[in-house]
Structure 1
Amino acid sequence: MKHYTYDEWLQYVNDEINENSRQELEDHLYSCDQCLNHYLMVMEANESSLPILSDMSEFTDLVMAEVLKQKIVVPDTVRNLNTMLMVPSVPDTTNDAKTKMKKKPFYQHAAFHYLLAAAATILLTFTGAFQSLATYANALESPQPQVQKKKHSVTEGVINKTFAWMDSLEKKEAVKK
């Protein structure tokens, strides 16, 4: 990979190179960290010669005003381009909120979901589903000695099986003698 010198980056910053070389240098910046460091050093060294913005907020306001002046002629083309480039599209501000609300199907409104949840709650209450759940929960919470058996740990099970196996081996040895 070819690396560019400090002087070449200085010429780039001072706009003293032709368009082909400029494009080549810009493409190279994307792939080379070493040259990017050289470029940043040149930018820091020549910071005083770069134009200074007197009022940054005024500059931002002017840029935003220019953006708002421009109108999108073919919104479908822009939307398709944004989809291909994976860039989020700018929201369409030409339609008001009432128009957007009318375009949504009824099942996408929050009120529909609240009504559906209320209907399900009423249905479960009147069918006794909540009562049976409460009874089941109480049955789980109250200790019942018949249901609770002492459970052995895995280690105890392995030890018991090992001793049983050793006892069977001893019995086989005793039978052989």
Structure 2
Amino acid sequence: MTANALLDSHREVLFEKKVELINNFAKKRYGHLSFFDDIKQTMLLEYAVALSEARLDDNYEAYCWRAMRWATNTFLNKVLKKEERTLCFSNFENSILEDDTASQLDTCTANIKQCMLIEKLRIAYNRLSKDEQCVVTAEFDTEFGLQSSVINYSYDKKKRIARKYKNSVLSANSE
């Protein structure tokens, strides 16, 4: 069914006067969309349907224009929601694998590496003598204020012990 089949001769003339205006409005407003032709056809058809129902002695132009805009917005909402759902479902698997799994794997890997480092620290610390443990504790843990208990070591010796501890932790042979 065409728009002209809906209208009598008088309404057809009124419709033909508005076709160019509707086309220009559609092109200006929705010309960038890929489904522009569908929008334009929806607008023209809805304007024709509203014109066929309208009483010509009232403000039929405003009624037809509102009906056309309402139909266009309804059409756009349906199409855009459909496209959003399609994009959402197409990216759903990728987003789950990339976002959630990757962050969980990173967290697990970081926790494992942290546990391994703590274990290396413990093993290397237990290998030290009691005096060396005091030096290492004083050098790396200033919170407890143990620096006064290791005054009998020189500055160089303290740094050498701390460096030896650090290197033993960082080396692969700390087991």
Q: TM-score range by the shorter chain?
A: under 0.3
Q: Which has the higher helix share?
A: 2
When normalised by structure 1's length, the TM-score is 0.23
Higher relative contact order, chain-length normalized (CA < 8 Å, sep 6+): 2
